Chains A and B, each alone.
Chain A
């Protein structure tokens, strides 16, 4: 025989609410890690640089710029991720040198990035 326990209903409702809160917290989207330090090495003063840097600064607290033309691998010291970029669709952009032991996280962008990756004999190089 079931006995209705009216006094426990508010407790059950509160428990359900807590459960929903916990589940929704678990599935909520994680946030970007604003603490990642990002270096963007591109063409100084270009609109392209401005756009990338403005966007990156919305999401990361530390964003610095560099010049791809004079880029050296030591420039990446102190940064978590380095982005290498130049003018879009530019086949004659700078091709910095890098040692094969270089192991810091790096993103190469677009046509210039593909050509740089080819020079470094990476699989990500342009065909």
Chain B
């Protein structure tokens, strides 16, 4: 990551409380890697509006943005301007009671805006005392299936072995020489991707007429199908696939606490009561 952050997200309270952060914006040439990873909307401009956090241009790190916000315990505080990773990857982010400041300089080398944001981060993370992460990284999010499909013929080493470590064996004959076809297949079925030793498309869910495996409506529908003798067994199997053990769901008053996380293991989970308050 470079020494700057994207000029967005500045409406977040961490830029206002307790100190006002007033970044000085500049335009920088859009990194080539952004072109490869940007998924819209529209096209990226030739220049990106950023603000400098610190002086040293190198030696900073980003966190992966894909799947970062698929659980309600995580949020992006600054998008890191970078030439090596993906558009949108995170320079400053929070996961539960942990805040990662991806910039490497000491305060003496930070800009005034950088120093103020750093102080605000100390105050901000203090609010999350007693609120640990709800999930831990168990897998990559579903967009990785598409990204990895595109490189099946570009990896070094045994490409068949790589394919079979990531995708089902039954897809090998059809797609092992067609990375774009494989990527298109996963992209077209993105809402039904799940991880079970490899990235799979949930054909059983699709056969039930359910279009997404990550919507609360889907889970609710599966529970209703338990009452239908024709679909009971499939529904039970799918509920087990997408539920953590011993989790009970309240589709009424507790509905807004139910979430689906790819990164946390392709499961529906429930935020504890009160966890989301004060965000």
Contact = CB atoms under 8 A, between A and B. Distances in A.
Nearest to A113: B100
Interface string A65-83: 0000000000000001101
B269 interface: no
A32 to B, nearest CB: 5
A26 B97 CA distance: 30
Interface string B168-201: 0000000000000000000000000000000000
B104 A29 contact: no
B63 A103 contact: no
Contacts of A59: 119
Interface in A28-51: 29-33, 36, 38, 48, 51
Given A32-B18, A103-B97, A124-B98, A80 B59 contact: no
Nearest to B121: A107
B183 to A, nearest CB: 20
Contacts of B106: 48, 51-52, 55
The interface size bin for chain B is: 35 or more
B95 A122 contact: yes
B44 interface: no
Contacts of A101: 132
A105 B136 contact: no
Given A51-B107, A55-B108, A100-B132, A29 B19 contact: yes
Dominant SS among interface residues on chain B: loop
Interface stretch (B123-131, B152-160, B212-220, B222-230): B123-131
Nearest to B63: A124
Interface in B62-121: 62-64, 67-68, 71, 74, 85, 89-90, 93-108, 115, 119, 121
A80 B60 CA distance: 26
B133 interface: yes
A30 B22 CA distance: 15
B61 A107 contact: no
Contacts of A29: 18-20
B122 A36 contact: yes
Given A29-B20, A124-B63, 15 more contacts: A31-B18, A32-B18, A48-B106, A55-B115, A88-B59, A103-B97, A108-B100, A110-B102, A110-B103, A111-B60, A111-B104, A113-B100, A123-B74, A123-B95, A123-B137
Top 9 A-B pairs, shortest CB-CB distance: A124-B100, A89-B59, A55-B107, A51-B106, A121-B136, A88-B104, A30-B18, A110-B104, A114-B61
25 contacts: A31-B18, A32-B18, A51-B106, A52-B106, A81-B126, A89-B59, A104-B97, A105-B97, A109-B104, A110-B59, A110-B61, A110-B101, A114-B61, A120-B136, A121-B138, A122-B96, A123-B63, A124-B63, A124-B93, A124-B95, A124-B99, A125-B63, A127-B61, A127-B62, A127-B63
Interface of A: 29-33, 36, 38, 48, 51-52, 55, 59-60, 80-81, 83, 88-89, 100-111, 113-114, 117, 120-127
